Chain A
Amino acid sequence: MQIPIMAHLVLGYPTLPESIRTAELYIAAGCAILELQIPFSHPTADGPVITRACQVAVEEQGITVANCLEAIAGLTSRFPQQEIIVMSYLNRIYTYGADRFREKMERMGIRHLIVPDLPVDSPVAKALHQPGQLQLLPVLAANVSDARLQQLLAAGHDFFYLMSDFKITGSTFSLNPRLKHIAQTIKATQANARVGIGFGISTAEQIHQVLEVADCAIIGSALIRAQEENRLNRYFNELLLETTKST
């Protein structure tokens, strides 16, 4: 059974083999989508939990982009049916080479890429967004205008990441009332487009609240926090149980 959750993890946290085992846990549990973040020294849009995880991966583990690509390739070949989204800050992709990075993604069958500090229509973005192959996933907040939304839909984006509110990752959860309108606008314009909502989600109740508006709930910091406290398995299984029990 597929559970409408996008489970996020930082590659190389706490070590590369352990992050791969965490990915396997999420896949085995039936998470619809796996989001794999390439760690960066300065994750400018992330809260303290993901920032700490990135620091461990970069400074203690010395994880390179090449290490990450190898790990992703391993997962895509072992789990070809699993939908995997890759997330990276722009400087790591830019330094690796945007064209080279896109080719790698396409070869591994990755269809969607999240680059939080890259407006999806900026010049550099063109190398990473090829509708029908690799697509950039716009990360939007409630202040996105209707005109801007139409512009993004016209550019062929078919998956949208909405920030639950004006927050950084791992904050207290609240659902901005305008997200409903944004999700409806997206669906009305492009029936096949998908919408995910993330930032601050940590309970089954919040997941249900999000699923009333979106196709999937994106969970990141809460999972890493549980992992920091050595209670990931229990927390994750309870969360899934609660989520599926009442849907």
Chain B
Amino acid sequence: MISTTSTYRQDILSSTGHFGPYGGTYVPEVLLPGLQDIAAAYDHLKTDPDFLDEFHTALREFDGRPTPLTPLPRLSAEIGGAQIFLKNEGLNHTGAHKINHCIGQAILAKRLGKTRIIAETGAGQHGYATAAVCARFGLDCTVYMGRIDYERQRPNVYWMELLGAKVVPVEDGSQTLNDAVIAAFKDWVEHPESYYLLGSAVGPHPYPAMNTFFQKIVGEETRQQCLDQIGRTPDYVMACVGGGSNAMGMFFEFLDDEQVQLIGVEAGGRGTQPGEHAAKVRQGVKGIFEGYHSYFLQDGDGNIASTHSVSAGLDYCGISPILAHLADEGRVQFATASDETALAAVQRLALAEGIIPALESAHAFAHAFELAANLTPDQVIVVNASGRGEKDLFITMRHFQPESLRKVGELLLKG
């Protein structure tokens, strides 16, 4: 239940990496000095006016913030329930919210005197944003990507390489985000002088808190836009949850608004069997993996299970320790959306409102459409469109126009 004395925001900002029983720093000793340097820098810089000025200037001038809060009148009327609004993080430079924490961490890395950046990526959005930021700040960049994601998110691989990054496909394990994270950690063991620019609100301290800090601009803007555009805070705020960076960015500013219901939407995939989904809160169990204590999808004997989602960005075994804590506290509710309903949501949003969301974000919309139908027109739902859908070209095309995809393939082969 919601604690009446809670100041969730303060607790997260002042935390040393523990969120209820979750979080922590569970890594090989060789990585501790590097993590301690980053944690100390973050602790100092989060209140440093010069640093914050540089961060916000880059968000404005390079990234293009603020992003709009867009009403969806046609879709809301079609559904006939609550008014739905969309926070368009897809309009960020490189197409998703990821660039917010990339800018913050890159400036921090520069202050630490780092010259080489390591990153992992799932959908490729974090890798793409990291590559852009590294080019912008003159940093050498290596991105690890599971082989399956490397193939299914080919456009982003190309953009990363065009931006000068080295993209390494990871052949281990299930060849998705999880394996990319492990490969990035191994690179860091071999190059402890490099900076690991981890791309979600997961991992050892300080990443969960630090990425939340850099992402909270999303919810700050949204809350103010709600006050300006509708004169009050919304009734529901929703975001999709893979690791949890866009959800934490969106939810943070609303955590202490008890009247605002926060809903995280996980990947329901193809079913509830192990390996068919990525719903950590629904089916995960407590564990300690990849540096942090949280909910993980596992086999019951301590092995990590494989996951599935049509969206690479949600196809991950763990969840932010901050979200695990907020789930236990009942402050954030969780739901799931299947591959099919997410794909349908992409089409529905495109046809009714002229916006093509990323498949990840489409999970949040799928649930929002369902919920909206059961609410009344005086109620307001805000959904975080964490990314735009262009990167999903080959996946959505295969689904909606398989014949066109085949023709594109033939044309390309002919040269």
**Which A positions have Cβ atoms within 8 angstroms of B?**
40-42, 44-45, 47-48, 51, 55, 58, 64-65, 90-96, 116-120, 122-124, 138-141, 143-145, 148, 163, 166-168, 171
20 CB contacts below 8 A, A to B, read A40-B303, A41-B303, A45-B189, A55-B173, A65-B302, A90-B288, A91-B296, A91-B298, A92-B302, A92-B303, A117-B291, A119-B29, A119-B32, A122-B24, A139-B28, A139-B29, A141-B29, A141-B30, A143-B33, A163-B30
Q: Contact at A94–B290, with CB atoms within 8 Å?
A: no
Inter-chain CA distance A118–B185, complex, in Å, is 15
The answer to whether A94 and B303 touch across the interface, beta carbons within 8 angstroms, is: no
Tell me the complex Cα distance, A42–B180, Å.
12
A103 to B287, CA, bound (A): 20
**Which secondary structure characterizes the binding site on chain B?**
mixed
The answer to whether B287 and A119 touch across the interface, beta carbons within 8 angstroms, is no
Contacts of B172 in A (CB 8 A): 48, 51
B178 within 8 A of A: yes
Chain A CB within 8 A of B394 CB? no
Nearest-Cβ distance from residue B365 to partner chain A, whole angstroms:
32
B289–A166 contact, CB under 8 A? no
Most buried by B among A44, A64, A119, A145: A44
Among residues 263 to 306 in chain B, which have CB atoms less than 8 Å away from a CB atom of chain A?
Answer: 285-291, 296, 298-304
Taking a contact as CB atoms closer than 8 A, the residue among A48, A91, A166 that contacts B288 in the complex is: A91
Q: Which residues of B contact A139 (CB under 8 A)?
A: 28-30
Complex contact B302–A42 (CB within 8 A): no
Knowing A48-B172, A144-B29 are in contact, say whether A167-B190 is a contact too (CB < 8 A).
Answer: yes
B288 contacts which chain A residues (CB < 8 A)? 90-91, 94, 117, 124
A38 to chain B, nearest CB (A): 9
- Closest chain A residue to B305, Cβ basis: A41
| Chain A residue with Cβ nearest B289 | A91
What is the total of A-B residue contacts with beta carbons within 8 Å? 105
Partner of A168, one of B189, B286, B299: B189
Q: Is B159 interfacial (CB-CB < 8 Å)?
A: no
Docked CA distance A143–B190 (Å): 12
Q: Which residues of B contact A64 (CB under 8 A)?
A: 301
Q: Complex: how many Å from CA A42 to CA B32? A: 20
Q: Decide: A44 and B185 in contact? CB cutoff 8 A.
A: yes
In the assembled complex, B80 has its CB within 8 A of some CB on chain A: no
Known: A90-B26, A91-B287, A91-B304. A166 touches B190 (CB 8 A): yes
Instruction: Classify chain B: how many residues form its interface, as a range.
Output: 35 or more
Among residues of A, the one whose C-beta sits closest to the C-beta of B171 is A48
In the bound complex, how far is the Cα of B186 from the Cα of A148, in angstroms? 22
Is there contact, CB below 8 Å, between A41 and B304? yes
Question: Which residues of A sit under 8 angstroms from B189, Cβ to Cβ?
Answer: 45, 141, 166-168
CA distance A47 to B182 in the complex (A): 11
* Known A117-B288, A139-B29; 7 more pairs at CB < 8 Å: A41-B299, A65-B301, A91-B289, A91-B296, A94-B288, A95-B287, A145-B33
Among the listed B30, B299, B302, which residue makes an inter-chain contact with A96, where contact means beta carbons less than 8 Å apart?
Answer: B302
B29 and A58 contacting across the interface, CB-CB below 8 Å: no
**Cα distance, A64 to B192, chains bound together (Å):** 34
When C-beta atoms are compared, the residue in chain A nearest to B178 turns out to be A42
Bound-complex Cα distance A41 to B182 (A): 12
Flag if A168 contacts B186 (CB, 8 Å): yes
Among candidates B24, B29, B286, residue contacting A140 with C-beta atoms closer than 8 Å: B29
- Contacts of B285 on A, CB cut-off 8 Å? 95
Chain B residues near A65: list those with CB within 8 A: 301-302
B233 CB-CB contact with A under 8 Å: no
B304's partner among A42, A117, A119 (CB-CB below 8 A) is A42
Closest to B187 in A: A168
- The chain A residue sitting closest to B299, CB to CB, is A41
CB contacts under 8 Å to A, within B180-221, are 182, 185-186, 189-192
Given the complex of chains A and B, what is the CA–CA distance between A139 and B27 in angstroms? 11
Cα distance, A47 to B186, chains bound together (Å) = 8
Residues of A within 8 A of B26 (CB): 90, 117-119, 122, 124
**A166 and B191 form a contact (CB under 8 A):** yes
- What's the minimum C-beta distance from B30 to chain A, rounded to whole angstroms? 4
Q: Does B25 contact A (CB under 8 A)?
A: yes
Complex Cα–Cα for A40 and B296 (A): 15
Q: Which B residues are in CB contact (< 8 Å) with A93?
A: 302
Measured CA separation A45–B189 after assembly (Å): 8
Task: Given A65-B301, A95-B301, A124-B288, check contact A119 B173 (CB 8 Å).
Answer: no
**A148: which B residues are within 8 A, CB to CB?**
32
Chain A residue nearest to B290 (CB atoms) is A44
Chain B min CB distance to A33 (Å) = 20
Would B28 and A117 count as touching, CB distance under 8 A? Answer: yes
In this complex, what residue of B is CB-closest to A166? Answer: B190
- Cα–Cα, bound, A96→B227 (Å): 50
On chain A, the residues within 8 Å of B30 by CB distance are 139-141, 143, 163, 166
Docked pose: A120 CA to B172 CA in angstroms: 28
Q: Please name the residue on chain B nearest to A52 by beta carbon.
A: B172
